[in-house]
Amino acid sequence: MKKSWFVKDVKETDVKKSPRAPFITSTLQQSASSRLGFAPSRTMGIAQKLYEAGHITYMRTDSTNLAASAIAQISEVVAKNFGKDLLQIRTYAAKSKNAQEAHEAIRPTHFNLESAGINDEQKKLYQLIWNRTVSSQMADAGTLRTKITANVDGADTPNFSITGTQVKFPGWLLADPASRGDD
């Protein structure tokens, strides 16, 4: 016996999506693993080479702080590449009271270099760091989340639902578009 489907409910919600904090050691390892397929030890080895070449700050840190000079460089990059209206200077608090904050967050040393490194792995990791750090100082993204609930007419079955997201205002996603898939 054939039954017809019907849409039981449609809910739309505006959602603001804030950028993530600049990288600390553990978040760099997590992102490099999920986005680049790098094991934590491999990530740290590649980061060490980038640090030794002067491309990034020290990569063993629990601090999400950025130096004033870094924020000034980011401000110039955001204004030039994305528009001054997308700049939103932010400070991020440490999640742990015991955080070792002697160093600043893992970040590029020169933001005018969008690419750095001598091989493909270094370039990919550097790009990940550059994107995350620049986007951390940009305006929230605005999305529209839609949830559709459906069922079979006259059947005693659980509801089926699906949720989709549509970007209404890209904000910081312009600097880190690959992060859309991180949720």
- The upper half-sphere exposure of residue 152, i.e. CA atoms within 13 Å in the direction of its Cβ, equals 7
What stretches of the chain show up as alpha helix (H) in DSSP? 25-31, 40-52, 68-81, 120-135
Which residues 6+ apart lie within 8 Å of 25 measured at CB?
Answer: 44, 59, 60, 61, 62, 106
How far apart CA 150 and CA 161 sit, in angstroms, is: 6
Catalytic residue among 51, 58, 92, 126: 58
Tokens 């089926």 locate to 160
Backbone angles phi, psi at 174, to 5 degrees: -65, -35
Active site residue 58: yes
**Two structure tokens written together for 36:** 């680049």
Return the ∠ at Cα 68 (arms to 63 and 74), rounded to 5°.
90
Q: Which residues pair with 7 in a beta bridge?
A: 150
Active-site residues: which are they? Answer: 58
